[in-house]
């Protein structure tokens, strides 16, 4: 599956294990020296579009940075640059 290849390429410093879930999604486990670092359920929808998969990768990178005691740069957090806030006009 292409999502598994993208996830493996996104985290070359980890052993990336994926298991198919009954709902069509994936169970993703990142290991380092035989120790589980992150375990994440990825929905079927998140595996089917590049933008959703990139959001999963971004959130995992954020969680890894926070666990290591580093705060990721605001510009790297996709949710901060996704869309502008709505504006309203009153008649």
pLDDT in tens, 43-64: 999 999 899 999 999 999 988 8
Full-model pTM = 0.71
The answer to whether residue 87 scores a pLDDT higher than 80 is no
Mean pLDDT of 67-82: 60
For residue 67, how many other CB atoms are within 10 A of its CB? 10
How far, in Å, CA of 62 to CA of 3, rounded?
19
* pLDDT band at residue 1 under the 50/70/90 scheme: low
């Amino acid at each position: 599956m292409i999502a598994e290849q993208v996830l493996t390429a996104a985290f070359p410093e980890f052993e990336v294990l994926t298991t198919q879930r009954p709902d069509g999604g994936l169970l993703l486990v990142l290991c380092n020296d035989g120790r589980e670092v992150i375990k994440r359920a990825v929905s079927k929808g998140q595996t089917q579009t590049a933008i959703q998969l990139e959001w999963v990768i971004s959130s995992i990178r954020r969680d890894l940075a926070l666990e290591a005691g580093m705060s990721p740069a605001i510009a790297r957090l996709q949710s901060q640059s996704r869309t502008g806030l709505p504006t309203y006009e009153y008649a």
